[in-house]
Structure 1
Amino acid sequence: MATTSIYASSEVEAIPVIDFSDILSGSKDLGNCPQVKELHSALSTVGFVFLTNHGIDKKMVDKVFKMSETFFTQDISAKKPFIRREHIGNDGYVCMEQESVNPTQPGDLKECYNICKTAIPCPDLLEDCIKDLFFESNKTLALKILEVMGYAFELKDPQFFVKRHQKIGQGSSESYTTLRLLYYPPLPPSLNLKPGQLRCGEHVDYGSITLLFQDPNGGLQVKKKGGGYIDVPYIDGAVLVNLGALMQQWTGDKYPATPHRVLVPDDETVKERVRQSIAFFVHPDNEVLVETIDGSNKYPPITALEDTFRRLKQSYFPVD
C-alpha cells in the first residue's frame, strides 16, 4: 500500500501513514519491500510516521487506557506510595509538575506512570495487561521497526539495531526502555499558568524510537523544519512512531529527532477535558556505546546509560 499524507497542503510537512501489514506478514523480502523505503523517507525527513496494521490489538490498547484512567483518577494518597525515586530507577508514579521535559520551562501539567519492569511494587490494577502482554507487544513491534530501519539504512548487518536492544524489559539496570502512561488532567479556568508552562514542554525524546498511542483529544504538535508546528491528528487504530536523540546521534543526523510538545488548549471547554496517551520509549541496552555508524564522528561516543542519566537529571524536580 502506498504511503499517504494526512495533510493536503504543500505548505506543511506531512506525517506519512504506512500500512505495516506486508512487513509483519513476512511475505516480502525486506531488502526490496516498498514500505521499507517509505519508512526511510518518513524518518529521514519528518522524523514521525503513523503505522497502521501494526499487530497490536486495539482492544488491548483501549483496555490499557481504561486501566490508566482508573489509576490516575484515584486520590493522590493512593498514588504516592508508587512515586518514582531516582535511586531505584525510572519506574513509578510522576506527579503534576514533577517533571519538565523542557528544563528551561516550569513543570509539565501532566501525571505519568513509568514501567521498565524493575522489581518494585506495581499497582494491582496496572499489573496484568501492562507489565506483561501489552509491554511485550510493544517490544515485539519496536524490534521489528528497528530491523526495518537496519534495512532502510542499508547497513551491512541489517540486525545492527536489533542486536543492541536485547535487554528490553529486564529492568532499568539493563535497559531504560520504558512504557509510560500519560494523563493530562482537566485544567480549571481558575488555574494560573506559569509563563511558558505547557501540558508537555517542547522536547525531543530520549533513546532510539518511541511508539505512541493517542486518544482523540489532541494537543500534540510536531515542529516543522522551517518553523511553526503541525497539529498531530488522531488516527483510529494507528501507532505514531518517532525518533529519539540517540538515534539521531547514531545516524549522524540522517534520522532526526524532531521537537514536539503538548499545548494547553485555548478553548476552556477543551481545557477541561482529560487527555491520555501511552508511550513506549525504546532505549538501547545500557552498556551499548553509541557512535555514528557512518564513521563521521559528528558526536562524541556515549553509552546509552550515560545519555539517559544526563537527560533524566535535567528533567525531574525533587519530590518529598
Structure 2
Amino acid sequence: MTTTFSSLPVVDVGALGLPTGASPAERAALSKRLYEVFATTGFAYLTNVPLSFKHEDVFDLSLQFFALPESEKMKLAKRSFRRTNTNTYRGYFPTQPELASDNLKEGFEMGPAKSIRTKSSVTSGSKFNLAEPNVWPDQNNFAARPSLERLYSELQSLSSELLSLLAVSLGKPADFFASYLDDSLSTLRLLHYPPVASSASGSRSAGSDVKLSCTPHTDSGILTLLHQDSTGGLEVQNSSGEWVAAPYVPESLVVNIGDLMARVSGGRFVATMHRVRAPAVGASAAAVSGQHRSPQTGRISVPFFFEPGENCLVRSVDGDEGFVVYGEHVRMKMKTWVEFQDDGDSN
C-alpha cells in the first residue's frame, strides 16, 4: 500500500542502455529497487533512460502536431467526434468542456506502426476497433511521423525490459510477461493542456480552490511511462491523502503502474491516485523550450501506456483461477473515459 512519501523516488536505469547490457547483478538490483517503488509509492522517476530522444525532441514532435490547423487535426478525429471518419480508437480528440469540466486537454493517439495480426474481436455492444491502423496528417504538412514511430518502438522495448525486471521481482521467470507483447495494443498519446484563466470555470478538487485539467484517478492498465514538460502540474496522492507534487526532472521519465498490474502482482504493487493541475495563462516550459513553443502553449505531456494484446489472458502471479481478457477490460474502462464519449458533432 502507499506510504506517506513526500517526493517521488528516483531509479537510475542507465545499466539497461550499456552496450553489453546490464549484468546479472545490475539486473537483480534494478528488479529489487522497482519492487520497492511499486510496493510503496507506485510512482518514480526513471533517470538515464536508454532512449535516443531528448526531452526537447519529444516535446517538439508533439508541438508540431498541435500547431496544425484545427481543420487538419479534425480530419484525424475519432468517429465519436466526426461521423464521416472511420477511425474509432486511434487519432485525434479535441477538448470537451461541454461534456466534462476537467477534460481541458486535446490529444492524439497512435499504436504500433505494423498492422496487428489478430483482428479485433469487436463485440456487438462496442463500436471501437482496437486493432485499427494509425491515422496521420498529410506528410507534406507533418514530417514528424517517422520519429514518432521510432519513439513508440523504443518505449515499447523499454516497457518490455521493465516488465522482465518486474517478473523477476515477483518471483517469476524473466519472460513471464512475454505473452503480453503478442499483438500489443500499447498507446503513445500526445497531450496538450491549454492554459486556463484563473476566472475560468473548471473542475476543482474537493474542499479546495485547486483548478484541475485532469481529475484524480488511477491508470487502468499495466504500465505508464510519461514525458512531462517543465510547466508542472502532476501531483500524486500519498497514504495520508496529501497531494505531492511531481515536478519536472530533466531527461527523466515518470513511471507508474495501473490497476490491472496491481491485480497481476497479487496486490503487492499499488496503483496510486494522481491528478493534473490546470496550467495558468502565461505558463510555459522555458526549460525545454523548442521552436514551436509559445508563452501561451500551456502544458505538454506524452504518456506511453503499455497494453497487452486484445486477446491476452491477464491473471495474478499467484495462480488464481480468475483472469481478465484484456480487450474486454479496456472496452469496459473506455465507457468512463471522456475522450471516447460522443460530443454530438455530426460534421
Matched, 1:304 2:322: no
| Counterpart pick for 1:108 among 95, 103, 106 | 103
What residue in structure 2 maps to residue 262 of structure 1? 276
Displacement of 1:238 in angstroms is: 0.8
Alpha-carbon spacing, 1:310–1:138, altered in 2? closer, same or farther (3 Å): same
Using structure 1 for the length normalisation, give the TM-score: 0.83
Which of residues 230, 235, 257 in structure 2 aligns to 1:216?
230
Seen in structure 2, the aligned counterparts of structure 1 residues 139 and 82 have a Cα distance that, compared at 3 Å, is same
Secondary structure of the 1:210 match is strand
* Greater mean alpha carbon deviation, residues 44-53 or residues 67-76: 67-76
Pairing 1:48-127 to 2, within 5 Å after superposition? 48-59=43-54, 61-85=55-79, 88-97=87-96, 106-117=101-112, 118-123=132-137, 124=139, 125=142, 126-127=144-145
Aligned match of 1:7: none
Count the aligned residue pairs: 294
Out of 38, 58, 69, which is 2:33 matched to?
38
- Partner of 2:119 in structure 1? none
1:98, 1:318 within 8 Å by CA — same for their partners in 2? no
| Aligned residues: CA RMSD | 2.5
1:129 to 135, 147, 152: 147
Structure with higher RCO (Cα < 8 A, 6+ apart):
2
Instruction: In structure 2, give the amino acid aligned to 1:133.
Output: R
Q: What is the alpha-carbon distance in structure 2 between the residues aligned to residue 264 and residue 274 of structure 1?
A: 9
CA offset at residue 228 of structure 1? 1.2
**Bigger Cα displacement from structure 2, 270-279 vs 212-221:** 270-279
| Separation of aligned partners in 2, 1:27 and 1:231 | 31
| 1:136 shift after superposition | 0.7
The alpha carbon displacement at 1:273 in A equals 5.2
**Structure that is richer in helix per residue:** 1
Structure 1 residues 74 and 191, CA, compared in 2 at 3 Å: closer, same or farther?
farther
Asked whether the 8 Å contact 1:211–1:279 carries over to 2, the reply is yes
Which structure 2 residue ranges, 5 or more long, are not aligned?
A: 81-85, 113-131, 206-210, 285-295
Deviation for aligned residue 1:85: 2.9
Retained in 2: the 8 A contact 1:99–1:315?
Answer: no
Name the SS for the 1:144 alignment partner: helix
Q: What amino acid does structure 1 have at the position aligned with 2:78? A: R
Partner of 1:178: 187
Query: Helix, strand or coil: the match of 1:160?
Result: coil
Partner of 2:200: 191
Cα distance change on mapping 1:255 and 1:309 into 2, 3 Å: same
Moved more, 43-52 or 61-70: 61-70
**Letter in structure 2 aligned against 1:229:** W
Quote how far apart the aligned CAs of 1:13 are.
4.0
| Matches of 1:255 and 1:41, distance apart in 2 | 9
Query: 1:15 is matched with which residue?
Result: 8
How far 1:246 sits from its partner (Å)?
Answer: 1.0
1:30–1:148 CA contact under 8 A, matched in 2: no
Distance in 1 (alpha carbons) for counterparts of 2:248 and 2:273: 19
Q: Which runs of 5+ in 1 are unaligned?
A: 1-9, 169-174
1:228 corresponds to which residue? 242
Q: How far is 1:190 from its partner?
A: 5.2
- Aligned-residue offset at 1:49: 1.5
CA distances 1:213-254 after superposition (whole Å, capped 9, x unpaired) = 111110000111221111001111111110011101111221
Q: Distance in 2 between matches of 1:223 and 1:194?
A: 18
Superposed CA deviations along residues 141-178 of structure 1, whole A, max 9, x for unmatched, are: 110011111111111x221113322323xxxxxx2x10
Runs of 4+ displaced beyond 6 Å: none
- Matched residue type, 1:181: L
For the residues of structure 2 that align with 1:220 and 1:189, how far apart are their CA atoms? 18
- 1:11 shift after superposition: 5.9
CA distance in 1 between partners of 2:77 and 2:35 (Å): 39
Question: For 2:252 and 2:154, how far apart are their aligned partners in 1?
Answer: 14
Aligned-residue offset at 1:14: 3.5
CA gap 1:306/1:58 in 2 versus in 1, 3 angstroms: same
Map 1:285-304; keep pairs closer than 5 Å: 285-296=309-320, 300-304=322-326
Shifted more, 187-196 versus 77-86: the winner is 187-196
Distance in 2, matches of 1:189 and 1:15, equals 28
User: Partners of 1:198 and 1:159 in 2: how far apart?
Assistant: 40
Q: Does the residue aligned with 1:247 lie in a helix, a strand or coil? A: helix
Structure 1 residues 296 and 214, CA gap change in structure 2 (3 angstroms): same
The aligned residue for residue 240 of structure 1 is 254
Query: Distance in 1 between the 2:265 and 2:94 partners?
Result: 34
